Amino acid sequence: MRLAPELKSKIDTLWDRFWSGGLSNPLQSIEQMSYLIFMKRLEDMDAVEEKRTAAKKQPYVSIFTGHENCRWSHWKHLSAEQMLIHVRDVVFPFIKTIHNGEKTLFATHMKDAVFMIPKPSLLQEAVGIIDDLNITAQNRDTQGDIYEYLLQQISTSGKNGQFRTPRHIIRMMVALADPDINDRICDPACGTAGFLVNAYEYIIRRYTSPEMIEVDEDGEAYNLIGDRITDPKHWEKLWTDTFYGYDFDSTMVRISLMNMVLHGIRAPQVQLTDTLSKGFQEKERYTIVLANPPFKGSIDKTDINDLLSLPTTKTELLFVERMMLLLQTGGKCGVIVPDGVLFGSSNAHKKLRELLLTKCQLEGIVSMPSGVFKPYAGVSTAVLVFTKGGSTEKVWFYDMESDGYSLDDKRTPIDRKGDIPDIIERFRKRKEEKPVDRTQKCFYVPISEIKENGYDLSLSRYKEIVYEEISYEKSEVILQKIEDLEDQIKENIKGLRALLPK
């Protein structure tokens, strides 16, 4: 992430102020920061829209008409005490009631939002820091990086196994799914919208002239301007009808919306809903689904959606079936699952794997080392890539040994790449290479063998480990060498004693 040191320093200071100001819960803090950033962005976007309509010689009605005192520029200079009262009692209620196009994407999900900044001094300091960040004047890359850097501070896992997926793992999965400009992309458990944001950047990169693109040491691509997208209709589709997210946590919905808007997606479609519950009725709508759904969660049996057929309340199983249902025939899914999904012996585990192999084309399984999600969790995981429709003839396995970072809690960068470039390249070439040597990192396993093993999809079931034979010298030879060494030591000691003064 190529965020300038001075911007990082300001964001670090912002977090320090929130922690010392009594908001120690990272999710609560990022949500309150998001509200303030939205208040700042609202006036900036209003000014841009006014200039745009003036250029077209069209009339413009400001979103602040009748509410001029809600402009950031109006209240940012108030005293600390006056500012807290004004923002809490005037500005915050105002942004919760706005209904006016793309300016209000964030506001439409503010109905149950609560302003929680307790101290006048904290609010005043936070407003000053956000003002100094000058977010609107930054390019889209920097705007997105500012928010991503804020999100990095969410360092504790949430309820039901929620935690942020590392960006390099997201980028790998997006590359395996290979989205394009005509796709409709969904994450049914979107969290902070990392998959949707990276899918957008992947598409824009595809349509940016190579000489324009810059890549930093983390593999992040910058200056993605999409100069080869020349049809305004394609931009309109990207901004309004490409990226769809769902989450049952209202805080995550608001965070994901802000993340997407600051990355350049003008009208993301994010809804507050539980995609496993009876109230969710969408199916066969998307061409790509990308997700890291909650692990080790469960749902009330009476609330499970009627379309879900698995005899279980385990969310890690139900979410995979939900993704199958969301996909159109021919649509592709990339999903992270705990290893237990691959070999679990319950009826639900076996039925899910059977569905993956008989109702879908299970194209690949990338087995990841257990440290990938540290310090949040140490569970071993895998990435499944499948296409809806048809049936599986053979499954491509890859044994990821490194993701470019240490696998302990510190996650220290090694080369920041690990096996990921090889995984992407080998996956794309798998049909030509047809790897079968099971002592190597990747290989194919035919469906007939998988069926014989009770639909077991764990890598360890099929990987062959080569044991290197080590030959040792005969015992008498080793003993003779020890005796010779002892004699040599005795001679050395004798020589040293001779050198001692008499």
**Domain-embedded: residue 492:** no
**Domain-embedded: residue 405:** yes
**Residue range 256-311, pLDDT digits in tens:** 888 888 888 888 899 999 999 999 999 999 999 999 998 777 888 999 999 999 99
Q: Within this chain, do residues 58 and 163 fall inside the same structural domain, yes or no?
A: no
CATH code of the domain containing 84: 1.20.1260
CATH code of the domain containing 255: 3.40.50.150
CA distance 340 to 366: 14
The pLDDT of residue 300 is 87
**Domain-embedded: residue 494:** no
- Token readout for 134 is 């000058």
Q: By the 8 A CB rule, do 285 and 219 touch?
A: no
Of 171-185, 370-384, 405-419, the range with the lowest mean pLDDT is 370-384
Task: List for the chain the helix, strand, coil content (%; round to 5).
Answer: 50, 15, 40
**Domain-embedded: residue 416:** yes
Q: Which residues are CB-contacts of 98 (< 8 A; sequence separation ≥ 6)? A: 42, 63, 104, 107
Mean pLDDT of the chain: 89
- Closest C-alpha to 258, from 246, 270, 273: 270
Q: By the 8 A CB rule, do 32 and 88 touch?
A: no
Q: Strand 286-291 relative to strand 269-272: parallel, antiparallel, unpaired?
A: unpaired
Of 102-111, 274-283, 383-392, the range with the lowest mean pLDDT is 102-111
Q: By the 8 A CB rule, do 269 and 245 touch?
A: yes
Q: By the 8 A CB rule, do 75 and 84 touch?
A: no
CA distance 64 to 103: 12
Q: Within this chain, do residues 124 and 193 fall inside the same structural domain, yes or no?
A: no
Which pLDDT band holds residue 99 (cuts at 50, 70, 90)? Answer: low
Which pLDDT band holds residue 406 (cuts at 50, 70, 90)? Answer: very high
Q: Within this chain, do residues 184 and 136 fall inside the same structural domain, yes or no?
A: no
Q: Within this chain, do residues 17 and 49 fall inside the same structural domain, yes or no?
A: yes
Q: Is the peptide bond prior to 421 cis by the omega test (within 30 degrees of 0)? A: no
- Token readout for 85 is 């009262």
Q: Within this chain, do residues 117 and 180 fall inside the same structural domain, yes or no?
A: no
As for how many domains the chain has, the answer is 2
- Containing H/E element for 444? strand 442-446
Q: Within this chain, do residues 165 and 144 fall inside the same structural domain, yes or no?
A: no
Q: Within this chain, do residues 216 and 250 fall inside the same structural domain, yes or no?
A: yes
Q: Within this chain, do residues 122 and 235 fall inside the same structural domain, yes or no?
A: no
Q: Within this chain, do residues 89 and 171 fall inside the same structural domain, yes or no?
A: no
**Domain-embedded: residue 410:** yes
The pLDDT of residue 38 is 85
The pLDDT of residue 155 is 52
**Residue range 13-60, pLDDT digits in tens:** 999 999 888 887 888 898 899 899 888 988 888 887 788 788 778 888
**Domain-embedded: residue 502:** no
CA distance 426 to 397: 10
Q: Within this chain, do residues 15 and 110 fall inside the same structural domain, yes or no?
A: yes
Q: Within this chain, do residues 178 and 280 fall inside the same structural domain, yes or no?
A: yes
**Domain-embedded: residue 439:** yes
Q: By the 8 A CB rule, do 109 and 253 touch?
A: yes
The pLDDT of residue 289 is 98
Give the structural domain span for 44.
5-151
Mean per-residue pLDDT for 106-122? 85
Chain centre to alpha carbon of residue 492:
64
Q: Within this chain, do residues 121 and 68 fall inside the same structural domain, yes or no?
A: yes
**Domain-embedded: residue 198:** yes
Q: By the 8 A CB rule, do 291 and 283 touch?
A: no
CA distance 465 to 443: 13
Mean per-residue pLDDT for 147-167? 65
Q: What count of Cα atoms within 13 Å lies in the side-chain half-sphere of residue 79?
A: 2
The pLDDT of residue 106 is 65
Query: Which of 444, 462, 480 is at the close of a domain?
Result: 462
**Residue range 314-372, pLDDT digits in tens:** 999 999 999 999 999 999 999 999 999 999 999 999 999 999 999 999 999 999 999 89
**Residue range 332-347, pLDDT digits in tens:** 999 999 999 999 999 9
Residues in the chain: 502
Residue, of 62 and 382, whose pLDDT is higher: 382
